[in-house]
Amino acid sequence: MNIAYLVNQYPKTSHSFIRREIVALEAAGVPIARFSIRSLAAEIIDEADKQEANKTRYVLKEGVSGLLSSTINVALKHPLRFLKAVKLAYTVGHSSDRGLAYHFAYLAEACVLLRWFTQAKISHVHTHFGTNSATVAMLCRELGGPTYSITVHGPEEFDKPQAISLTEKIEHAAVVVAVCSFGRSQLYRWCSYQQWAKIQVIRCGVDEMFLKQPYTPLPTQPRFVCVGRLSEQKGHLLLVEAAGQLAAEGHDFKLVLVGDGSLRPQIESMIHQFHLENHVEITGWATNEQVQQQILAAQVMLVPSFAEGLPVVIMESLALCRPVISTYIAGIPELVQPGKSGWLVPSGSVSALKEAMQVAIHTPLDQLEQMGKTGAKLVAQNHNVAIEAKKLAALFGR
- Residue 364 phi/psi, 5-degree rounding, is -55, 145
Q: Which residues pair with 342 in a beta bridge?
A: 324, 338
Name the class of domain 208-382. alpha beta
pLDDT-derived band at 1 (thresholds 50, 70, 90) equals confident
pLDDT-derived band at 398 (thresholds 50, 70, 90) equals confident
pLDDT-derived band at 5 (thresholds 50, 70, 90) equals very high
- Residue 177 phi/psi, 5-degree rounding, is -110, 130
Please report how many Cα atoms fall inside a 13 Å half-sphere around the Cα of residue 293, on the Cβ side: 6
Kindly state the helix (H) or strand (E) to which residue 61 belongs, with its residue range: none
Rounded-to-integer distance, Cα 387 and Cα 199, Å: 18
Q: What is the DSSP letter of 330?
A: T
CA 57 to chain centre: 21
Rounded-to-integer distance, Cα 13 and Cα 74, Å: 35
Residue 55, pLDDT > 90, answer yes
Question: How wide is the angle at C-alpha 68 spanned by C-alphas 151 and 57, nearest 5°?
Answer: 45
Over residues 105-161, the pLDDT tens digits come to 999 999 999 999 999 999 999 999 999 999 999 999 999 999 999 999 999 999 999
Over residues 157-215, the pLDDT tens digits come to 999 999 999 999 999 999 999 999 999 999 999 999 999 999 999 999 999 999 999 99
Over residues 266-321, the pLDDT tens digits come to 999 999 999 999 999 999 999 999 999 999 999 999 999 999 999 999 999 999 99
Scored b (16 or more CB within 10 A) or e, 34-51 reads: bbbbebbeeebebebbee
Q: What is the DSSP letter of 12?
A: -
Share of the chain above pLDDT 70, in %: 100
Please report how many Cα atoms fall inside a 13 Å half-sphere around the Cα of residue 101, on the Cβ side: 1
Residue closest to 129 by CA, chosen among 165, 92, 154: 154
Amino acid 102 reads Y
Predicted pLDDT of residue 97: 87
Predicted pLDDT of residue 187: 98
How many helical (H) and strand (E) elements, i.e. helices and strands, does the chain have?
17, 13
pTM score, whole prediction: 0.95
- Residue 154 phi/psi, 5-degree rounding, is 80, 165
pLDDT averaged over every residue in the chain? 97
Share of the chain above pLDDT 90, in %: 97
Over residues 326-371, the pLDDT tens digits come to 999 999 999 999 999 999 999 999 999 999 999 999 999 999 999 9
Q: Which residues are within 8 A (CB) of 176 and not within 5 positions of it... i.e. 6 or more apart?
A: 149, 150, 152, 169, 170, 187, 198, 199, 200
Q: Could you check whether 3-205+384-397 and 208-382 share the same CATH topology?
A: yes
In three-state secondary structure terms, 125 is strand
Q: Name the residue ranges covered by the structural domains of the chain.
A: 3-205+384-397, 208-382
Average pLDDT estimate for 211-233: 96
Topology of domain 3-205+384-397, per CATH?
Rossmann fold (3.40.50)
